[in-house]
Amino acid sequence: MAEAGHINYTPPFRGRGVRKLVDAPPPFEKIPIDWDHENLLRDIEEKLLADMDAFIRSNECRRGAILKYFGENRNLVCGECDCCRKSQAGRDKPRRDGRDADY
């Protein structure tokens, strides 16, 4: 049909159809690793983890701590977060000796 001019047929490419696009990776020992940079990144991640651990274990108002983290420089006590409620409950709860906690 192609010879008769009915269709335009292009035969598929034959042989050596696979082309190498990238070189093989170097052996692991030869991979250039910037250990100073990797250690710096590790220190940053460990600092962030320590900060998060301190945030979780803190008795400080959660909202106030988050605002401080983002640069607001005021002591907020929201009265709604778990720490504020816990400290409020501690103040409202009567002491064993019968006196109010505030006295």
Contacting residues toward Zn ion, per CB under 5 A: 61, 63, 78, 81, 84
Name the residue whose CB lies closest to Zn ion.
61
92 and 100 Cβ atoms separated by less than 8 Å:
no
The nearer residue to Zn ion, 63 or 68, going by C-beta atoms, is 63
Cα angle, residue 92 at apex, residues 88 and 94 outer, rounded to 5°: 140
Measured from the CB of residue 24, what is the shortest distance to Zn ion in angstroms? Answer: 57
Measured from the CB of residue 84, what is the shortest distance to Zn ion in angstroms? Answer: 3
The nearer residue to Zn ion, 2 or 54, going by C-beta atoms, is 54
Q: Is 15 left (phi over 0), alpha (psi -120 to 50) or beta?
A: left
